[in-house]
Amino acid sequence: MKVWFYRLGSPKWFYEISERWLPWLAWSSLLLIAVGTVWGLLFAPADYQQGNSFRIMYIHVPAAFLAQSCYMMMAVAAVISLVWKMKLCDLVIVAAAPLGAAFTFLALFTGAVWGKPTWGTWWVWDARLTAMLILLFLYFGVIALQHAIQDKVASARATAVLILVGVVNIPIIKYSVDWWNTLHQPASFKLTEKPAMPAEMWLPLLVMVLGFYCFFAAVLFMRTRNEILDRERRTQWVRELVKKVSSR
C-alpha cells in the first residue's frame, strides 16, 4: 500500500502511465463528442417550447459539469498536497486551473447566448449565474496566485489553501436553483429520478457529457506531462527522455 502510494506520487510513474492512456482518452473523446454533436444537432427532436435553441444544452450542461468537477478534483489534489506533500498533486493543480477556467467560461458564455432567446436577456444576477461567475474568479485567483509566488513549495501551499476555501462555492452552485427560486431552472437530471425529457433528447447529452469528461482527462494529462517535463528537467530520466525524443 505504502509502495503503491509512493509510486502514485512519482511524476515519472505518472508520465509513463499517462502515455499509455492518452491515445485512448483522446480518441474516445473525439468519437463521443462527434457522435453527440451530430445526434444532438441533427436527430434530437426540437423542444416544444424553446424550438431549436435548446440544442445549446448539449454543450452548456457538459461544460458546467466539467467546470465544477475540475474544481472538486483540484480540491482533492489540494488536500493530498497539504497533508502528504505529494508533488504530483501540485503539478496537476497547475495543469488543471486554466482548463477549469476555460470550461467555466464556456458554461457562462453558452448560458448567456442560450438565455437571450429563452429568457430575453443575456445576463441576470440570478443565484446560479452569480455562483458560476464566482467560480470563474476563483480559477483566475488560483492562476494568479501560482504566478505571484516564485517559491514553488510556498506557491503550492498557498494555492491549495485558496482552493479549499473556495470549495464552499460548489454546494452553493449545486443548490442555488433550489434555495433561491430565480431564473435558472432546477436540475433536469438527478441520479435517483428519471430525466424530465424523452430518451432521444437526453441520450445525446449523456454521450456529450462522457465525451467532455474524456476530453478533460486527455488535455489534463497532456498539460500535467508538460509540467512534469518542465519541473523535473534536472532529473536523469527527463534528460534521457529529452535526448531520445529530440534525436528522432
Partner 1 sequence: MSFNSVAEFFAMGGHGLYVWLCYGVTLLALVLSFVLPGMRRRQLIREQAQRLRREEAGL
Indicate whether 52 belongs to the interface with partner 1 (CB under 8 A): yes
User: Could you tell me where the DSSP H helices lie in the chain?
Assistant: 2-8, 11-38, 57-84, 87-119, 127-148, 152-166, 169-179, 199-231, 236-246
Which residues 6+ apart lie within 8 Å of 33 measured at CB? 208, 211, 212, 215
Which range, of 78-86, 101-109, 136-144, 155-163, touches partner 1 by CB under 8 A? Answer: 101-109
Q: In the bound complex, what is the minimum distance in angstroms from residue 105's beta carbon to partner 1?
A: 8
Helix (H, G, I), strand (E, B) or coil at 164: helix
Indicate whether 110 belongs to the interface with partner 1 (CB under 8 A): yes
Name which of 14 and 114 has its Cβ closer to partner 1. Answer: 114
CA distance 178 to 185: 9
Q: In the bound complex, what is the minimum distance in angstroms from residue 145's beta carbon to partner 1?
A: 21
Cell for 68? 465544477
Indicate whether 49 belongs to the interface with partner 1 (CB under 8 A): no
| CA dist 143 → 28, 56, 152, 194, 221 (Å) | 29, 29, 13, 39, 18
Indicate whether 197 belongs to the interface with partner 1 (CB under 8 A): no
Which DSSP category does 53 fall into?
A: G
Indicate whether 202 belongs to the interface with partner 1 (CB under 8 A): no
Site string for partner 1, 220-239 (x = CB under 8 A): --xx-xx--xx--x----xx
Window 12 to 31, contacts with partner 1 (CB under 8 A) = 26
Name which of 116 and 190 has its Cβ closer to partner 1. Answer: 116
Helix (H, G, I), strand (E, B) or coil at 165: helix
Q: Which residues bind partner 1 (CB under 8 A)?
A: 26, 33, 37, 41-46, 51-53, 55-56, 59-60, 63, 99, 102, 105-106, 109-110, 113-114, 116-117, 215, 218-219, 222-223, 225-226, 229-230, 233, 238-239, 242-243, 245-246
